[in-house]
Amino acid sequence: MSKIEVKNVYKIFGDSPSKVLPMVQGGSTKEEILEKTGHTVGLDNVSISVNEGETFVCMGLSGSGKSTLIRHINRLIDPTSGEIHVEGTNVMELDQKKLIEFRRHKMSMVFQRFGLFPHKTVIQNVGYGLEIQGKDLNERNKIAMEKIESVGLSGFEYQYPNQLSGGMQQRVGLARALATNTDIMLMDEAFSALDPLIRSDMQKQLIALQAELKKTIVFITHDLDESLRLGDHIGILNHGRLVQVGTPIDIIMKPADDYVAAFVKDVNRSKVIKAKIIMLTPEKFKSNGTKNRNTIKVNEDAFLDEFLPQVCCTDADVEVVDKSGNVKGYITEKELSKALTKSKADVLTKSKA
């Protein structure tokens, strides 16, 4: 079920955006608009649909419009034209009082630069949204401690932000967003300011939390590897225009244009393709009558790079299982080899077919 609908949104920055809008709708490019009018096109007829419980990643280079887009969802920015619906509510029709309540209870936001209060402790920062919601101190602290523990910061609840590393500060920001228990989380370049190893840890933590909590997440990034790792669906923006929306596999296997193809050309496919993508179902799998004593079991959502070393080192058969350990299918050496060795030319040919 669709949780968020962004419909035909245009955003033009400048003194007279409504006068410039017809030029944009007529097909003028961002560069032409800037040269002729001095206005900047932030978004050009963008429409996305985000399903309940999924992580939708918007990605693109700097200036592509991704941060502008996410700020329309909680109406920090008003569109020049278009509609934004959240759970069927037209956000543009909310008055100031209803908009404040909408932001307090419907969604939370995690910022790139953490956005913590320097004079408040970790537990006070995490509980701030609950304070705004009117919760009493005991309830705030109880919920805040639960979220602090969930992001691995137990023991740091009475520290101040300047006593924490960048990664720990971002965990505080994540805990604060979780504490308000909103259905929707907006994450604007949330991990971009972190060192690579810390960033990877935060990605793992978000994946683990999402598997448990099933929030609806809109995640903004300029990093393709991050988008492929986190996203159920990915929307790629270029100069304010949405050029492709699809699953990670769609983006890799069927790039919509040269811009997307350039993004994905150097991607390590083993970090993108999941076991369930290439497995054969039990009905389709035919054994040759022998059983390899090195058979390994992998989760259906495991990426190839996670179990490939085990297969290569032990010459193992691969059984794909669900979270309960039930066998969902099998991966043959042929299917594994095909997934890893498919050439870029094959991918591009398939995308144009």
3-state SS record for 164-206? CCHHHHHHHHHHHHHHCCCCEEEEECCCCCCCHHHHHHHHHHH
| pLDDT band per the 50, 70, 90 thresholds, residue 347 | very low
CA nearest 10: which of 242, 243, 189? 242
Token pair of 44, please?
Answer: 């050009």
Q: In this predicted structure, what is the pLDDT of residue 292? A: 57
d(CA 281, CA 276): 9
Q: Which residues lie across from 279 on neighbouring strands?
A: none
Structure tokens, 266: 């150097």
pLDDT, residue 309, reads 74
pLDDT-above-70 percentage for the chain: 91
Are the C-beta atoms of 110 and 178 separated by less than 8 Å? no
| 352 has pLDDT over 60 | no
Per-residue pLDDT tens for 240-255?
999 999 998 888 878 8
Distance CA 243, CA 261 (A): 11
Confidence tier at 344 by pLDDT (50, 70, 90): very low
For strands 81-86 and 2-13, give the pairing.
Answer: antiparallel
Would you list the DSSP string of 335-346? HHHHHHH--HHH
Angle at 80 between CA 76 and CA 82, to 5 degrees: 90
| CA atoms of 337 and 221, how far apart (whole Å) | 31
pLDDT tens per residue, range 100-136: 888 888 888 887 677 789 999 999 999 998 888 888 9
Dump pLDDT digits (tens) for 55-96: 999 998 888 999 999 999 999 999 999 999 999 899 999 999
What is the percent of the chain with per-residue pLDDT over 90, rounded to a whole number?
40
Q: What are phi and psi of 24, to 5 degrees?
A: -65, -45
Q: What is this structure's pTM?
A: 0.77
Helix, strand or coil, per DSSP, at residue 132 = helix
User: What size, in residues, is the chain?
Assistant: 353
Hey, what domains does the chain have and what are their CATH numbers? 2-269 (3.40.50.300), 275-341 (3.10.580.10)
Kind and range of the H or E element at 59?
strand 55-59
Report residue 170 as tokens: 């971002």
Tokens of 152: 């691995």
Higher pLDDT, 185 or 304: 185
Task: Report how far apart, in Å, the C-alpha atoms of 17 and of each of 20, 31, 246 are.
Answer: 5, 15, 31
Least confident of 27-36, 79-88, 171-180: 171-180
Contact indicator for 111, 173 with CB cutoff of 8 Å: yes
Give the integer Cα–Cα distance in Å for 69 and 312.
44
pLDDT at 345 over 80: no
Helices (H), the chain: 17-25, 30-37, 66-73, 96-106, 122-126, 128-132, 137-150, 166-179, 196-213, 224-230, 248-253, 258-264, 275-278, 304-314, 333-341, 344-352
